[in-house]
């Protein structure tokens, strides 16, 4: 079985997703959310563990070097399938799950082969490589906190959706848009839980709901190991940033529950989080998802 005490290559992750589908027929289905510049698939799994049709999308690995994101998502998938306690079982069974642990596969492979701290995609733009795939989405594209220099870490791309990863994934999300109500994106690091938007500090109509739900989730995170998170909208909590996946989902489909996690830690190890923190990070994050969706349900 899959070893959750270390980080894995893309091939190992995709083989794990295939094996889950094979071992859980009728419950786990392999889905393809898009494709990459270098010709890879954006592979995911759809979990159908109960009869509910209310969908949740989990997105990981949009930034290549943030390895705790895919690792935590895989751990959470495993927990959702194992039904260990009543709260997790309830969460698992009352939703349909569309889970993409690595939405920037070319970048992820590059962090294993060549440069551990690579962030972007791998499409050449002039003399440099990659757009920031969390600045390349087509909602308020290039309206702050993104660069028009292809050599920058936050390059927005030559146009909205100039990268095939964001374009193809956006088309997939559009095709399932009537099936999901929640979209959660996992990054690292900083221990933050944020909601849209990133281009403006202005509060959305459902700001209070999003903040209260986030606060419940943040309380739940701290219960298991005392890990402290801060909650708020993107622009006020981290910085102005435009063209992110979550902002596009919010701005396009107006889904009620749209969050971005910045997982562990606060900088001691940063992107190089030791693998022995995969399990605790995933478990506290799953606790927070339980609390998040309980509170979201209570608020209608
Ligand atoms: O800058 C980013 O894309 C994210 N931080 S990171 O250090 N992981 O690169 C924050 C993105 C949050 N933005 C929105 N959801 N709008
Ligand atoms: Zn990130």
Classify each residue of 139-177 as buried b or exposed e, where b means 16 or more C-beta atoms within 10 Å of its C-beta.
Answer: bbbbbebbeeebebebbbbeebbbbbbbbbbbebbeeee
Residue with CA closest to ligand 1 atom 2: 134
pLDDT in tens, 101-116: 999 999 999 999 999 9
Query: Best mutation site among 131, 241, 250, 257 for ligand 1, i.e. most ligand atoms within 8 A of its Cβ?
Result: 241
* Token digits of residue 270: 């940063």
5 lies in some domain: no
Give me the tens of pLDDT residue by residue for the chain, a chain 300 residues long: 899 999 999 999 999 999 999 999 999 999 999 999 999 999 999 999 998 879 999 999 999 999 999 999 999 999 999 988 999 999 999 999 999 999 999 999 999 999 999 999 999 999 999 999 999 999 999 999 999 999 999 999 999 999 999 999 999 999 999 999 999 999 999 999 999 999 999 999 999 999 999 999 999 999 999 999 999 999 999 999 999 999 999 999 999 999 999 999 999 999 999 999 999 999 999 999 999 999 999 998
Closest residue by Cα to residue 263 from 53, 21, 69, 56: 69
Q: What are phi and psi of 145, to 5 degrees?
A: 70, 25
| Enclosing domain of residue 122 | 10-298
Locate the ligand 1 atom nearest the alpha carbon of residue 66 and give its number: 8
How many whole angstroms separate alpha carbon 69 and alpha carbon 187?
A: 6
Q: If you ran DSSP here, which 8-state letter would residue 147 be given?
A: B
Which among 59, 262, 284, 295 is annotated as catalytic?
A: 262
Interval between CA 137 and ligand 2 midpoint (Å): 14
pLDDT in tens, 225-257: 999 999 999 999 999 999 999 999 999 999 999
How many whole angstroms separate alpha carbon 182 and alpha carbon 257?
A: 5
Instruction: For the chain, count helices (H), then strands (E).
Output: 9, 10
Query: Best mutation site among 63, 68, 233 for ligand 1, i.e. most ligand atoms within 8 A of its Cβ?
Result: 63
- Kindly report the number of other CB atoms within 10 A of residue 40's CB atom: 18
Interval between CA 241 and ligand 1 midpoint (Å): 7
Query: Best mutation site among 185, 187, 195, 272 for ligand 1, i.e. most ligand atoms within 8 A of its Cβ?
Result: 187
Asked if 277 and 265 touch (Cβ cutoff 8 Å), the reply is yes
55 lies in some domain: yes
What's the gap between Cα 145 and its chain centre? Answer: 20
Asked if 253 and 247 touch (Cβ cutoff 8 Å), the reply is no
4 lies in some domain: no
Q: Count of domains in the chain?
A: 1
CATH code for the domain of 95: 3.40.630.10
2 lies in some domain: no
* Surrounding residues of ion ligand 2, Cβ less than 5 A: 63, 66, 187
3 lies in some domain: no
Interval between CA 163 and ligand 1 midpoint (Å): 18
Q: What is the largest CA-CA distance in the chain?
A: 53
Closest residue by Cα to residue 227 from 235, 218, 236, 240: 218
Tell me, what's the pLDDT at 93? 96
Tell me whether residue 262 is one of the annotated catalytic residues.
Answer: yes
Q: Which ligand is nearest to the CA of 262?
A: 1
Interval between CA 73 and ligand 1 midpoint (Å): 17
ipTM of the complex: 0.94
How many whole angstroms separate alpha carbon 133 and alpha carbon 225?
A: 32
Residue with CA closest to ligand 1 atom 1: 241
How many whole angstroms separate alpha carbon 205 and alpha carbon 24?
A: 41
Strand-pair category, 180-188 with 257-263: parallel
Tell me, what's the pLDDT at 62? 99
1 lies in some domain: no
Interval between CA 245 and ligand 1 midpoint (Å): 9
Ligand 1 neighbours by CB, cut-off 6 Å: 63, 66, 134, 187, 194, 196, 198, 234, 238, 241, 244, 246-247, 260, 262
């Amino acid at each position: 079985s899959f070893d959750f005490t270390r980080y894995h290559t893309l091939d190992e992750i995709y083989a794990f997703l295939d094996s889950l589908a094979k071992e859980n027929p009728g419950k786990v289905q392999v889905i393809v959310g898009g494709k990459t510049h270098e010709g890879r698939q954006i592979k995911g799994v759809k979990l159908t563990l109960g009869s509910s049709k209310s969908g949740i999308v989990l997105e990981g690995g949009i930034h290549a070097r943030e390895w705790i994101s895919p690792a935590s998502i895989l751990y959470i998938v495993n927990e959702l399938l194992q039904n260990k306690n009543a709260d997790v079982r309830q969460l698992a069974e009352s939703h349909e799950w569309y889970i993409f642990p690595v939405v920037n596969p070319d970048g992820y492979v590059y962090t294993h082969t060549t440069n551990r701290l690579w962030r972007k995609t791998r499409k050449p733009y002039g003399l440099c490589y990659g757009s920031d795939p969390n600045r390349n989405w087509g909602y308020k594209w290039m309206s702050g906190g993104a660069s028009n220099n292809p050599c920058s870490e936050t390059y927005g791309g030559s146009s909205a959706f100039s990268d095939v990863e964001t374009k193809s994934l956006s088309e997939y999300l559009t095709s399932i848009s009537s099936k999901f109500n929640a979209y959660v994106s996992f990054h690292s690091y900083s221990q933050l839980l944020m909601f849209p938007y990133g281009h403006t500090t202005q509060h959305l109509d459902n700001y209070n709901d999003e903040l209260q739900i986030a606060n419940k989730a943040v309380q739940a995170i701290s219960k298991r190991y005392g890990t402290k998170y801060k909650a708020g909208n993107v622009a006020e909590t981290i910085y102005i940033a435009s063209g992110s996946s979550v902002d596009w989902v919010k701005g396009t489909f107006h889904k009620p529950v749209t969050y971005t996690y910045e997982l562990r830690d606060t900088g001691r190890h940063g992107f190089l989080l030791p693998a022995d923190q995969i399990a605790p990070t995933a478990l506290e994050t799953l606790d927070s998802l339980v609390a998040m969706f309980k509170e979201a349900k209570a608020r209608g």
